[in-house]
A and B are shown apart, each in its own frame.
Chain A
Amino acid sequence: MASERTGSHIIGYGTLTAVWIALLALTALTVWVALNAPGIGHVWGSLAIAAAKGGLVIAFFMHMRYEGRLLRWLLFVALLTLAIFIGLTFFDVLYR
């Protein structure tokens, strides 16, 4: 199985450190957006940054970047479900 072949992938310290620094920088950016973005922009900005941070954690710290197609599909199904849930909720939030 592809996932078994790639499951033992070892990520170098350099990559892990770079991801960590990127996460810290994105956290700082979240604070900046919360204080400076106009109107509803801080919500969209914060959501976008949170998604980027989640993507980095899943791809590198949780090894999804090195996994097989099946696991990627499973993740996609879960994310799609979550996106649909959030999208349907916005039929209420945006039009209330």
Chain B
Amino acid sequence: MKPTDQTPPPAASFWNDTGRSGITAWLFSTDHKRIGLLYFFSVFGFFLVGVVLGLLLRIELMAPGRTIMGPQTYNALFTVHGVVMVFLFIIPGFQGSFGNLIMPIQIGARDVAFPRLNLFSWWLYMGGAAIILTSLFTGGGPPDTGWTFYLPFSSRTGTNVSLAVFGVFIVGFSSIATGVNFVTTIHRLRAEGMTWGRLPLFVWSLYATAWVQILATPILGITLVLIIAERLLGTGLFDPSRGGDPLMYQHLFWIYSHPAVYIMILPAMGVISDIIPVFARKPIFGYKMIAFSSLAIAAAGSLVWGHHMFTSGMSDTAILVFSFLTFVVAIPSAIKVFNWVSTLYRGSISLEAPMLFSLSFILLFSIGGLTGLIQGAAATDIHVHDTQFVVGHFHYVIFGGSGFAFFAAMHYWLPKFYGRRYAEKPAIIAWALMFVGFNILYFSMIVLGLEGMPRRYYDYLPEFAPLNLLSTIGSWILAAGLVLLLVNLFRGLRSGERVGSNPWGGATLEWSIPTPPPTENFEEEPVVSHGPYDFRGAGIP
């Protein structure tokens, strides 16, 4: 999508200066901004697919018994919803789109360290996505295992698990390549004066995330290869009757997939850390501790995977160790929340759309985090494990957290690249609808789980019907807000009010260059002389 109206963007803008024409100017561009937009529209397209699948699941659960689909279709839909949302939207989402768009500019670089590898990452991502989508319509049909592909079921089901798993395997390589690229870029391409203590907190969060991508994703790759080996060669690695251990699969899967939750949430926290000081008109409170807590979350969060397995038959010693480590992760997470709240204290708060989504993030992520601790304690986990409580908790963290931060980033940063902005009032109405709909949808699930309704069940007892109906109504309100958000935002980006170089009064480097940014970002290599949240001298509108 390109801004269209009477006045084209400046000739030096990255929209014009490509050297190629037509679609190839996008598909083969090594400009980080173009690749960022490629990622953005790809991941957001998959997000919308996941939303439609989620709405269908909620319609099915609106009333007991069959509503619009049979049990096998239901199993396939929640699997595809999970695979699309986790592997095709939220894991690559922030790094690929806003990481690419913003990070090189924020550190004062002209591009990432390996621009061709960057483009290759996107192609790998799209290739993996194409394979996953192909798996839905070929072989035995869409996988019905859940996004976790648990063995032994995934080795026995006749659905097209092998191809879907292979697609996820390819997407994993894209993630590793992006991680390597970002670590190298942040180490090697910072502008003069851009010390580690002056890095914007979004960059710090991307840096911590990139290390998780590099160190944990290979384990997912190995695990997925073992699923394929189990299905095609019958290796028996996870089959107890042949000396295998089914719990070993769960260990291998969660060694990656729990840190993957931090791949999803850490950049979101970085976005919030960048937005809140700008709209509170105050320097961030506790810069060093927020930066440190990103690294601490990445490190400690990689050691807690066993809390997914408390009821699986794992040893009591392991339960004790993993439960303790899970509580340790809460500390750096709480550091961030307290620092955001302290930044708001006595600030001159401006409640525009990016800020409203950011404030919602704090509340929704806190609910998600605290419900997570209920599962991190082994005693209470036994009661809520595999219930709707888990679904509610996870969506509070990932949708209420990462999702709302993604919407905040869309409103905050996309005008910089389009030179135009959305209308504020419809954006606030969209936020309100989404916030209300979200809480009706997912808080109902938390209560349903506490009442004992299992997750991934196609049917349920009549006493669960009222809250399920309420939850489904919440999903419609949320969807209505999302439609309004999309129409308002993208119409604004095409033909809305023009914005200058620094519409929000930010102090990070992206606000010091023209809007839209030139192809090479900076006319002269910048020399950084102040911190990212030092607003003295920043042009507050």
In the complex, chain A residues whose CB is within 8 Å of the CB of B215: 77-78, 81
A96 touches B219 (CB 8 A): no
**Number of chain B interface residues as a range:** 10 to 19
Within 8 A of B (CB), among A37-96: 77-78, 81, 84-85, 88-89, 91-96
Within 8 A of A (CB), among B249-304: 251, 255, 302-303
B302 touches A92 (CB 8 A): no
29 contacts between A and B (CB under 8 A): A77-B215, A78-B215, A81-B215, A81-B302, A85-B219, A85-B255, A85-B302, A88-B303, A88-B306, A88-B318, A88-B321, A89-B251, A91-B306, A91-B317, A91-B322, A92-B309, A92-B314, A92-B317, A92-B318, A93-B315, A94-B315, A95-B315, A95-B316, A95-B317, A95-B318, A96-B313, A96-B314, A96-B315, A96-B318
In the complex, chain A residues whose CB is within 8 Å of the CB of B219: 85
- Considering the complex, give the chain B residue whose CB is closest to the CB of A77: B215
Pairs of residues from A and B, 7 with the lowest C-beta to C-beta distance, nearest first = A92-B318, A95-B315, A95-B317, A91-B318, A96-B315, A92-B314, A92-B315
What is the minimal beta-carbon distance from B207 to any residue of chain A, in angstroms?
14
Query: Main SS of the interface on chain B?
Result: helix
In the complex, chain B residues whose CB is within 8 Å of the CB of A81: 215, 302
In the complex, chain B residues whose CB is within 8 Å of the CB of A85: 219, 255, 302
B189 at the interface (CB under 8 A from A): no
What is the minimal beta-carbon distance from B312 to any residue of chain A, in angstroms?
9
B328 at the interface (CB under 8 A from A): no
In the complex, chain B residues whose CB is within 8 Å of the CB of A92: 247, 251, 306, 309, 314-315, 317-318
**CB within 8 Å for A91 and B321 given contacts A78-B215, A96-B315:** yes
In the complex, chain A residues whose CB is within 8 Å of the CB of B248: 89
- Considering the complex, give the chain A residue whose CB is closest to the CB of B325: A88
In the complex, chain B residues whose CB is within 8 Å of the CB of A96: 313-315, 318
In the complex, chain B residues whose CB is within 8 Å of the CB of A94: 315, 317
Interface of A toward B, CB cutoff 8 Å: 77-78, 81, 84-85, 88-89, 91-96
In the complex, chain A residues whose CB is within 8 Å of the CB of B309: 92
Interface of B toward A, CB cutoff 8 Å: 215, 219, 247-248, 251, 255, 302-303, 306, 309, 313-318, 321-322
CA separation between A90 and B148, bound complex, in Å? 22
What is the minimal beta-carbon distance from A3 to any residue of chain B, in angstroms?
13
CA separation between A77 and B214, bound complex, in Å? 11
What is the minimal beta-carbon distance from B489 to any residue of chain A, in angstroms?
40
CA separation between A26 and B430, bound complex, in Å? 65
Known: A77-B215, A92-B247. 8 other contacts (CB 8 A): A81-B215, A84-B303, A89-B248, A91-B315, A91-B317, A91-B321, A92-B309, A94-B317
CA separation between A77 and B247, bound complex, in Å? 27
CA separation between A94 and B508, bound complex, in Å? 51
In the complex, chain A residues whose CB is within 8 Å of the CB of B315: 91-96
What is the minimal beta-carbon distance from B167 to any residue of chain A, in angstroms?
25
In the complex, chain A residues whose CB is within 8 Å of the CB of B314: 92, 96
In the complex, chain A residues whose CB is within 8 Å of the CB of B313: 96
What is the minimal beta-carbon distance from B255 to any residue of chain A, in angstroms?
5
CA separation between A84 and B321, bound complex, in Å? 13
- Considering the complex, give the chain B residue whose CB is closest to the CB of A81: B215
In the complex, chain B residues whose CB is within 8 Å of the CB of A89: 248, 251, 255
- Considering the complex, give the chain B residue whose CB is closest to the CB of A70: B187
What is the minimal beta-carbon distance from B314 to any residue of chain A, in angstroms?
5
CA separation between A81 and B313, bound complex, in Å? 25
CA separation between A93 and B248, bound complex, in Å? 9
In the complex, chain A residues whose CB is within 8 Å of the CB of B306: 88, 91-92
What is the minimal beta-carbon distance from A37 to any residue of chain B, in angstroms?
16
In the complex, chain B residues whose CB is within 8 Å of the CB of A88: 303, 306, 318, 321-322
- Considering the complex, give the chain A residue whose CB is closest to the CB of B211: A77
CA separation between A83 and B314, bound complex, in Å? 20
CA separation between A91 and B318, bound complex, in Å? 5
- Considering the complex, give the chain A residue whose CB is closest to the CB of B303: A88
CA separation between A18 and B322, bound complex, in Å? 44
CA separation between A96 and B316, bound complex, in Å? 7
CA separation between A78 and B212, bound complex, in Å? 11
What is the minimal beta-carbon distance from B317 to any residue of chain A, in angstroms?
4
- Considering the complex, give the chain A residue whose CB is closest to the CB of B215: A81
What is the minimal beta-carbon distance from A4 to any residue of chain B, in angstroms?
13
In the complex, chain B residues whose CB is within 8 Å of the CB of A77: 215
CA separation between A92 and B315, bound complex, in Å? 5
What is the minimal beta-carbon distance from B376 to any residue of chain A, in angstroms?
15
CA separation between A81 and B219, bound complex, in Å? 11
What is the minimal beta-carbon distance from B384 to any residue of chain A, in angstroms?
21
What is the minimal beta-carbon distance from B299 to any residue of chain A, in angstroms?
9
CA separation between A81 and B300, bound complex, in Å? 11
In the complex, chain A residues whose CB is within 8 Å of the CB of B303: 84, 88
CA separation between A93 and B314, bound complex, in Å? 8
In the complex, chain A residues whose CB is within 8 Å of the CB of B247: 92
What is the minimal beta-carbon distance from A74 to any residue of chain B, in angstroms?
9
